[in-house]
Amino acid sequence: KNQVEQSPQSLIILEGKNCTLQCNYTVSPFSNLRWYKQDTGRGPVSLTIMTFSENTKSNGRYTATLDADTKQSSLHITASQLSDSASYICGAGSYQLTFGKGTKLSVIP
Amino acid sequence: NAGVTQTPKFQVLKTGQSMTLQCAQDMNHNSMYWYRQDPGMGLRLIYYSASEGTTDKGEVPNGYNVSRLNKREFSLRLESAAPSQTSVYFCASSEGQGRLETQYFGPGTRLLVL
């Protein structure tokens, strides 16, 4: 059964600090891994899409890494802002994706 | 350019009632999707339409039907709603159905079945 596990479940950090979110996946077939940001009460917004051959991809202050050998990905947020408070969702698969439950990030002043 | 729009935003149904969730996109995308998102669970694909005129089942299609009305519109129908269908429903679209296509999500429809 395809599974995507995200950790931590929730995280609180001070504004300006960095943080890293984790995603472990057991998905077949696998060709790409995605990170989404979902604000409360809104739809997910795509942050990064990586193929199995890519190791890292950046989108502004967001940097995703992928290790296809260990089936792990991380999302690093640099110099956090209050507007980064949201749920971050990892999805893995090929044409169809399996999604994790998300990590809820709270950035406090 | 509104992106992906969904109606209604909220709906309360009684068990056994039927309803149709509407979705439209103005990005000239070929592919459209319906997902559900439940507390403590990830997004799950219900149905998708790779292109106008085609629809296919996703991970959790039971209890739902879809219609790709035209290139812009993709509707999801619940024929006889059940409490287990209480969820937030998201429509998404992408330019194609390629493995690296970005999916753009709508704001969601929050459905409560009593």
Flag if A101 and B4 touch (Cβ within 8 Å). no
- For residue B104, give the amino acid letter: Y
State how far the Cα of B45 lies from the Cα of B33, in Å rounded to an integer: 7
In order of A34, B20, B42, B73, B113, the CA distances from B87 in angstroms are 23, 14, 12, 21, 9
Which one-letter DSSP state was computed for residue B53? T
Asked if B100 reaches chain A (Cβ–Cβ under 8 Å), the answer is: yes
What percent of chain B stands above pLDDT 90?
A: 84
Phi-psi group of A97: left, alpha or beta (phi > 0 → left; psi -120 to 50 → alpha; rest → beta): beta
Q: Parallel, antiparallel, or unpaired for β A103-108 and A10-14?
A: parallel
Q: What is the pLDDT of residue A18?
A: 98
8 A C-beta contact, residue A34 and residue A41: no
Binned at pLDDT 50, 70 and 90, residue A96 comes out as confident
Asked if B106 reaches chain A (Cβ–Cβ under 8 Å), the answer is: yes
In order of A97, A106, B37, B50, B85, the CA distances from B12 in angstroms are 29, 30, 17, 30, 11
Phi, psi of A84 (to 5 degrees): -80, -10
Q: What is the pLDDT of residue A63?
A: 98
8 A C-beta contact, residue A15 and residue A5: no
State how far the Cα of A85 lies from the Cα of A42, in Å rounded to an integer: 13
- Cα radius of gyration rounded to whole Å, chain A: 13
Among A44, A51, A95, the residue with its CB nearest the CB of B105 is: A44
pLDDT tens per residue, range B89-105: 999 999 877 767 899 99
pLDDT tens per residue, range A24-75: 999 999 999 999 999 999 999 999 999 988 999 999 999 999 999 999 999 9
Going by C-beta distance under 8 Å and a sequence separation of 6 or more, which residues neighbour residue A8? Answer: A21, A22, A103
- A-facing residues of B in 14-43 (CB < 8 A) are 40-43
Which residues in chain B are closer than 8 Å to A102, comparing Cβ atoms? 42
